[in-house]
Amino acid sequence: MAQMHIVTPDEFSSKSWKRVDNFAFASQRNLIPIVGSEAAKLASSLPLAFIKVADRFMMVAMTSMQPGINYFIMPNGHWFGDYVPVDLRCHPFKLLKPDNHPKKVLCIDMESGLIADAGEGETFFDDQGKPSPVMQSVIEFLSQVEQNREATQIAINVLAEENLLKPWELTLNQGEDTHPVNGIYCVDEQALNSLTDDTWLKLRKTNATPLAYAQLISMNQIPKLQQAINLHTNWKQQTNG
């Protein structure tokens, strides 16, 4: 389980961090949050859906029909797909707003196994206590992701406000068993095609339109998810056999 900790010169100047070389850390994540800027790329790789968290919707990439397993992470930790979601590429860092902090700050997962002694990886800070060039590029990347995440949420809120999201009735096969996928939503294409001009303009101004179409297109990737499930099932059978 992630244990996020603020990265400060006092605690991390004598440490370094290692780059991610596989995605085994996400092997139990069946729903991966995405941002709007990557929706079109992901739509050709795997199914996208919406889930409701508390009182709002968020957009996710589906890698399984049940919690606790990610069929797009192969046994060797490699990603089964053409495009790796930003959320995975940010690991082990996040920009978070801890209590008593006026803005988001850089945090690292202390349980990632990627924190090392000085000289064993990338440096956090230079001799003056400022972020190293590599660390600064990480911060800039995370900042761009967060800005896009906020814009994405605005677009999703508009889709929800206009009643364009509906429960997605989906079932997937695993071996001889059929499993329903619960708690996911998709775009209501019929409602989308019936919008007034004013509502269309509202969607266009918030970039909600490309998000809606990316989700609809991604529904054609269910066979790819099924293929990943079959690969995992065959691998387990061969290993256990």
pLDDT tens for residues 134-156? 999 999 999 999 999 999 999 99
The predicted pLDDT at position 239 comes to 66
Structure tokens at 1: 């389980």
Residue 199 pLDDT greater than 90, yes or no: yes
Query: Do residues 143 and 150 touch, judged by C-beta distance below 8 A?
Result: no
Kindly state the average pLDDT of the residues 118-134: 93
Amino acid 4: pLDDT? 93
For residues 110 and 235, the model is more confident at: 110
| CB-count burial class (<10 Å; 0-12, 13-18, 19+) for 204 | exposed
| CB-count exposure of residue 34 (10 Å: 0-12, 13-18, 19+) | buried
Which residues, in sequence order, are CB contacts of 137 under 8 Å at separation 6+? none
Instruction: Please state whether beta strands 4-6 and 105-109 pair in parallel, antiparallel, or not at all (unpaired).
Output: antiparallel
Nearest-angstrom CA–CA distance, 49 and 59: 6
The pairing of strands 170-174 and 177-181 is antiparallel
Between helix 133-161 and helix 208-218 the angle, nearest 10°, is: 90
Cβ–Cβ < 8 Å for 59, 50: yes
More confident site: 180 or 20: 20
Please say whether the beta carbons of 108 and 17 come within 8 A.
Answer: yes
Phi, psi of 69 (to 5 degrees): -150, 140
Q: Is the pLDDT of residue 226 over 90?
A: no
